[in-house]
Amino acid sequence: MVSVKHILVVILILLTPIVSRGRPDAEQVTAARTSLFAQSAAQALNRDFPDAYVSFLLLDAHTGQLLASRWEHATVPIPLGSLAKPFAALAYGEQHEFHYPSHTCRGSETGCWRPGGHGDVDLASAIAFSCNSYFRFLTLDLTAADVLPTASQFGLDLPDSSTQGGEFAGLGTRWRISPLRMAQAYVELLGERHRPAVRQILAGMEQSALRGTGAEVDRALQSETALVKTGTAACTHSRPAPGDGFVVALVPAQDPRLLLMVRVHGVPGSVAARTAGQMLRRIEE
């Protein structure tokens, strides 16, 4: 008959590999914390922002890991409007030794969404105010072949060969990019902040949150500041609206930990920014 002692010995032998693993290492602790944070963020966002016409993707801004999401078909390419502008700017830079011109936006006269225009703009302010006139000027001679290296470096869906000019800056619907790829491209962008051109773009995103099209994000956040890019694009919902608003917001601005991408049905990007700010505030609480 097998004695209790024998059984205990067997159990001890079986347990040894588990016990000898010792205390969980730092990586395991971080992973566990991340997953707890992701679960509670997802719960809070789904509970407090239940509107089916609000879509979101929440990513770890350091690793690009998807933490929480509610976005039907997030991998299907759709028009994302001005969210493409930073990448159009980098594609232009590749062709022009990263020298960016200044430009005078005269509003409707030069094809901007703001009828009265933005006056003299450089790359950073064109990003901050999402100036279409500046980006029409910047992308005038840009071809799909010029944009391919930047698009592939940042993992964006590639534009087809008939795409040209302002379409690279999200004017029109020809360059379609999947929302998840776009969110991850902004994580990559952050990782490239040592590049002077990227620094100008991120400075523009910081201005956007302070006084540009993304100002509603900082307003909702109150104590924190963000890096923001907004966009407005043709609606792809089954019950169509004139347009959908898009926002990419990174917080905190100094060293972003989180990236939130939001789509709000039937409003411009500058209005969707308020929803994004409220969501981030809810997560940070």
Q: Which residues bind Zn ion (CB under 5 A)?
A: 105, 112, 118, 131, 133
Closer residue to Zn ion (CB): 38 or 203: 203
Work out how close the CB of 102 gets to Zn ion at its nearest, in angstroms, rounded to a whole number. 13
Work out how close the CB of 180 gets to Zn ion at its nearest, in angstroms, rounded to a whole number. 30
Closer residue to Zn ion (CB): 83 or 112: 112
How many Å apart are CA 262 and CA 64, to the nearest integer? 16
Closer residue to Zn ion (CB): 107 or 266: 107
Closer residue to Zn ion (CB): 119 or 191: 119
Work out how close the CB of 113 gets to Zn ion at its nearest, in angstroms, rounded to a whole number. 7
Closer residue to Zn ion (CB): 112 or 235: 112
Work out how close the CB of 169 gets to Zn ion at its nearest, in angstroms, rounded to a whole number. 12
Work out how close the CB of 131 gets to Zn ion at its nearest, in angstroms, rounded to a whole number. 3
Residue type at position 249? A
Q: 3-state SS of the chain?
A: CCCHHHHHHHHHHHHHHHHHCCCCCHHHHHHHHHHHHHHHHHHHHHHHCCCCCEEEEEEECCCCCEEEEECCCCCCCEECHHHHHHHHHHHHHHHCCCCCCCEEECHHHHCCCCCCCCEEECHHHHHHCCCHHHHHHHHCCCEHHHHHHHHHHCCCCCCCCCCEHHHHHCCCCCCEECHHHHHHHHHHHHHCCCCHHHHHHHHHHHHHHHHCCCHHHHHHHCCCCCEEEEEEECCCCCCCCCCEEEEEEEECCCCCCEEEEEEEECCCHHHHHHHHHHHHHHHHC
Work out how close the CB of 117 gets to Zn ion at its nearest, in angstroms, rounded to a whole number. 5
Closer residue to Zn ion (CB): 85 or 263: 85
Closer residue to Zn ion (CB): 112 or 209: 112
Nearest C-alpha neighbor of 49 from the set 65, 29, 69, 34:
69
Work out how close the CB of 263 gets to Zn ion at its nearest, in angstroms, rounded to a whole number. 23
